[in-house]
Amino acid sequence: MFGGKGGLGKTTFSAATAFWLAKRGFKVLIFSVDPQASLSDIFQRDIFGKDAQEIIPNLFAQEIDADRRIKEYQDEIRNKIREKYGLEEIPEEIESYIQAASAEPAMEESAIFDAVVDIVNTTDFDYYIYDLVPLGHALYYLAMSSIYDQWINKITSLREEMQRYEKVIAKMKSEEVKEEDEILQELEYIKRRINLASKIFTDKEKTAFFFVLTPEEMSIIDTEKAANLFSRYGVPITGFIVNRVLPQELKKGNIPEYLKNRIIAQERPLAKIREKFGKEVLGWIPELERDITGLEMIERMARIMFGDD
């Protein structure tokens, strides 16, 4: 996983890492749940809302369409109601409720989280590269697994208690005791999926999380705060990657004053990054002369990050 504020290079590093792994024979899926994702831009392919698309041999990319996921949620709920009550049409009152629920922000977050769980649990790749949404949303997603887990535990406990009362009442009325509880089964199913996703996100053997930052004061402050918050959710931080570093040696040459001033302006933040993150900084990536889009530039970035071997 690559995380950080928007516009710092998460997608670039995600794509370069996926490209490098695929070229070494690993089957890789790079995916994003960000509605403003730029995987389509960086690969110069329209992949939004589609299933995993093969970019080059072994490298697949996918951008999830949250609106479509919500519609699928709605259809699933309608189908369950029709099957459960033998209805051909959904009553107007229930349809209004489904529509209203879909407008809640939580529905979108839930749909996206479920899509991530689906991808990780049901597809078959050697590596998954998760191009995370900007920090605030990323923290929300990671927190959701913990919040969902607590909520499901509580609801499951209440449902189990209700089931015990229902059995006692059924015996008192000499009615047949129902052993199957569809609600409880559904809750247990959701809980298993959430727990599996949480284990993967927090497993140091299976998951690596990289923070991307730039040599700017605000970027350092935000990264430090976010790193502390991520540790609360048990997400292992593998290291930090500093992007857009201007080469200090340029100062010795005959360069425009503007560029010289920018290089000098980076000196203090770079010293602070060394002081705060030290050996946890895994890479210092130079500012390139153009945007990273297209396979040629992605390959160039992969070589900068991992070398030519």
Q: E strands within the chain?
A: 2-3, 28-32, 53-56, 59-63, 127-130, 209-213, 237-245, 281-286
For the stretch 42-90, pLDDT in tens is 999 999 988 899 999 999 999 988 777 778 777 877 787 787 777 788 7
Cα of 206 vs its chain's centroid, Å = 15
- Determine how many CB atoms are found less than 10 A away from the CB of residue 50: 14
Where does 24-134 have alpha helices with state H?
A: 39-43, 66-85, 92-102, 105-122
More confident residue, 134 or 267: 267
Residue 275: predicted pLDDT: 95
For the stretch 209-262, pLDDT in tens is 899 999 999 999 989 988 887 777 777 789 999 999 998 888 888 888 999 999
For the stretch 5-35, pLDDT in tens is 888 899 999 999 999 999 999 999 999 877 6
φ, ψ of residue 199 in degrees (nearest 5): -60, -40
Residue 76: predicted pLDDT: 78
